[in-house]
Amino acid sequence: MVISCPMAIFPIIELARKQLPHQLVFSIAMEFNTTSRWLLHLKATIWRWLMWIGMLFHHRVQPSSRSPSFTVKAPTRLSGQRGYICLVFYVPARYHNSSDESRFPVIINFHGGGFTLGTGTDDARWARCVVEKTEAVFVSVEYRLAPKYPFSVAGNDGTDALIYLAAHAKELRLDPKKIILGGFSAGANLALTVPFIFHDLKNGSEKRFLRPNDLDGASRNDLSQTNSPLSVPQACQASSQSTPLIECRATSLETLQEIPPLAICAIIAFYPPTDFRIPRETKRKTNPRPELNVPVALTNLFDDSYLSSEYAATSLDLGDPYLSPAAASDDLLRDAYPQLIMLYTCEHDMLNAEGVAFGERLKNPNIGKTVKGGIIENVPHAFDKMPNPMKYPEVAERVYDEVCAELLAAGLGRDANQTEGTHTKPIKTEGEIATKIINVEPTVAPIQTFYGGDSSSSGDGVECWVTSESEHNDYYLGYEFQTNYKCSDGTRF
């Protein structure tokens, strides 16, 4: 079985190697019998602790990560395993002082971690970029983790979050017609699969259905029951808590089990796993830097935790589109996805080849999506989550900036540098942005932008173009949608 590389896995490994004796780490965290469920829980706990340490270092780098504005506690309704999820909000400066009629675009983010590790604050640096440069609201979903909650709980929780935020858009000042789904690694997989679940739910496929919103009398708004004259955002600002926790009263839509009106306008996927049908060993061979692959013993933890049929509620099909978006039909991809897809992969990542193939397929005329992004050169999986307290990867900031510029160009944000009544400066085109990223400081990893058109820059001023020749197909391992790139200096990728 296969599963995505966990978010921030490289920080975990490096910290473990530096801070703990080598034999101790691998004896306590890797050599357990993975057939025992309690041992899976123990191993997951150990790695969550190590990841917590790694993220402490990660968040210390300047500019520092942003603290959450408030957290909303939401009941789950799609999964048979009932419970709650926390929605961690990061809001722009003008959010609290805006009128009750104000509506902000919202990015619903899913953290990485192999569906087994991670928290809603892991992507706080990305959240800071979004709220400061687009003035959109950023909501990070703390979906429930394996091994306690195997497939498909995470996807159900993500869809619950989408529906919940749309149902409570008015009180949370969100624009349900401007929703963007995004994520990293396993979270990027959720950003790509949640639209399928929502599409099937909305169209009555009977693969999923909403349950009554009556979990322990939840879904009440504690603030509203105090007869506070303040709106939810204002009450959060007035709260003495550093990160207020809110429970919202069920809306009439929820009570009637109806789907609220909403529109997913874009998907942002950073280094996602897209095809779980491909054996892990096959994926590993696609990485030109195999030493940067995650150790087998560690990835087995995530496979056994999330995909093990022993703990899953139903038999597991690795070709289920809710797990492998690459397995979805053209019709489902065309109908469930928004027009704009931003997809980034990492050159030194076992997930790179399948991500490239998926992006090319989405561009195919049968599906016809606008796919932007590309391969980020010379970086491994989770390159933007390194725990170096001295320097944050500059290429990560530039990739984040490019995505924010694309959101503004698509009308899914508001330029924070502009005042009311002024016109926003024209946004640079994708090619101009990519050229800037590539040409600034050549020692920093560039981006190969190949999704936006038929040609791109290779990073050193060499022009590259798509070729129909079938050379180097072994790199893509026989994917149906293969594309090769030939450069003027004779090189290919």
The whole-number pLDDT of residue 352 equals 97
Residue 87 above 90 pLDDT? yes
Report residue 388's pLDDT band, with 50, 70 and 90 as the boundaries.
low
CB-based contacts of 353: which residues, under 8 Å, 6+ apart? 283, 286, 475, 476, 477, 479
**Residue 178 contacts by C-beta under 8 Å, 6 or more apart in sequence?**
103, 105, 106, 136, 263, 265, 411, 412
Q: What is the mean pLDDT of the segment spanning 270-292?
A: 96
Name the residue with tokens 């790694």.
54
Average pLDDT of the residues in 162-188: 97
Helices and strands (DSSP H and E) totals, the chain: 16, 13
Give the mean model confidence (pLDDT) for residues 265-272: 98
Residue 169 has pLDDT above 90, yes or no: yes
Share of the chain above pLDDT 90, in %: 51
Q: Which of the two residues, 373 and 479, has the higher pLDDT score?
A: 373
More confident residue, 30 or 471: 30
Whether the per-residue pLDDT at 166 is higher than 60: the answer is yes
Q: How far is CA 130 from CA 257, 347, 444, in A?
A: 32, 25, 23
User: Looking at 39-48, 170-179, 251-260, 353-362, which range is the least confident one?
Assistant: 251-260
Q: Could you tell me the two tokens for 61?
A: 């780098």
Comparing 327 with 234, the larger pLDDT belongs to 327
Judge residue 428's burial from the number of C-beta atoms within 10 Å of its C-beta, 0-12 exposed, 13-18 middle, 19 or more buried.
Answer: middle
Res 310: pLDDT: 58
Q: For residue range 201-219, what is the model confidence (pLDDT) as tens digits?
A: 999 876 776 776 655 444 4
pLDDT bin (cut points 50, 70, 90) of residue 387 is low
Q: What is the pLDDT of residues 30-44, one digit of tens each?
A: 444 444 778 888 888
Average pLDDT over residues 83-103: 94
**Cβ(103)–Cβ(173) under 8 Å?**
yes
* Least confidently predicted of 208-217, 344-353, 435-444: 435-444
pTM to 2 decimals?
0.77
Q: Which domains does the chain have, with CATH numbers?
A: 9-217+253-462 (3.40.50.1820)
HEC letters along 310-378: CCCCCCCCCCCCCCCHHHCCHHHHHHHCCCEEEEEEEEECCCHHHHHHHHHHHHCCCCCCEEEEEEEEE
Q: Mean pLDDT score of the chain, rounded to an integer?
A: 76
Q: Is 271's pLDDT higher than 50?
A: yes
Q: Give the per-residue pLDDT at 309.
A: 56
Range with the lowest mean pLDDT among 71-80, 130-139, 254-263, 400-409?
A: 254-263
pLDDT exceeds 60 at position 229: no
User: What is d(CA 320, CA 189) in angstroms, rounded to the nearest whole number?
Assistant: 13
Tokens 């839509």 correspond to: 253
**For residue 16, pLDDT beyond 80:** no
**Backbone phi, psi, residue 191, to 5°:** -60, -30
User: What span, in angstroms and rounded, lies between the C-alpha atoms of 463 and 488?
Assistant: 6
* 202-211, 247-256, 361-370: the lowest-pLDDT one: 247-256
